[in-house]
Amino acid sequence: MLEFQGKTALVTGGARDIGRATSVRLAALGATVVVNYRSNRGAAEETLRAIEAAGGHGVLAQGDIAVAVDVARIVEAAGRAGNGRLDVLVNLAGGLVARKTIAEMDEAFWDQVIALNLKSVFLATKAALPLMPDGGAIVNVSSQAARDGGGPGASAYATAKAGVSNFTRAMAKELGPRRIRVNCVSPGMIATQFHDTFTKPEVRQRVAGMTPLGREGRAEEVAEAIAFLASERASFINGESLEINGGIFFA
């Protein structure tokens, strides 16, 4: 079922992991997908090949989603791909940057993490709205950390993601009259490069063991939830945060 046939979607941070899985899934469902990446063109091109292998169509849009002039260029590329129209925005770009306690971090580090994870969502949403038709959909990517404060050294990241969750609710109210639905997903421990980089193997093993389903999640499982929230199947879901964590944490 090509439920996104004729629609255009922009996925920020679409080059790898959950971003790649989301880009491929939306393309397989018929969307023209604009894959944003910041610096790793090789990964972005690999995502594009995966999209084409799934029978879909995608284009690449390079730029730093935390910088307004770059965001304008990215959204302009999305508009060209969609003939002046952008139906779906997935605000997925983000990251931990580093694990630092409040004693270790300085103002510049705090600002960097907040910009990457929260300011970027504001910038992309604001830039995309003039191209979004009534009835469009925005899906933001928050985190389990937004509710539980995150692991050691993740206070800036957790704070930013909590902002994403509440920005989602605010936009759901503000954009509701245009029938633009705004939702978010909040992944827990997902097998991605994020945890390869920032989480010790023994911690991952322990968390997986504590999870009722007994494992980490997969990027494709998050992508499936994002595609659902962006689709007409979720036509009366608005302002929701969907927890994807195997049951280890309940909202």
pLDDT, tens only, 56-78: 999 999 999 999 999 999 999 99
Residue ranges of domains in the chain, CATH in brackets: 8-243 (3.40.50.720)
Reply yes or no on whether the pLDDT at 132 is more than 70.
yes
Q: What is the DSSP letter of 133?
A: P
* pLDDT tens string 137-164: 999 999 999 999 999 999 999 999 999 9
Residue 101 — φ and ψ, nearest 5°? Answer: -75, 165
The amino acid sitting at 242 is L
Identify the band that residue 2 occupies on the pLDDT scale cut at 50, 70 and 90.
confident
* pLDDT tens string 185-225: 999 989 988 788 878 899 889 999 999 999 999 999 999 99
Cα Rg, the chain, nearest whole Å? 17
* pLDDT tens string 31-47: 999 999 999 999 999 99
Q: Tell me the torsion sign for CA atoms 197, 200, 201, 203.
A: negative
Q: What count of Cα atoms within 13 Å lies in the side-chain half-sphere of residue 118?
A: 18
For helices 219-230 and 17-28, give the axis angle rounded to 10 degrees.
Answer: 50
Reply yes or no on whether the pLDDT at 251 is more than 80.
no
Q: Is 37 assigned a catalytic role?
A: no
* pLDDT tens string 75-93: 999 999 999 999 999 999 9
- Catalytic residue (one of 157, 192, 207, 225): 157
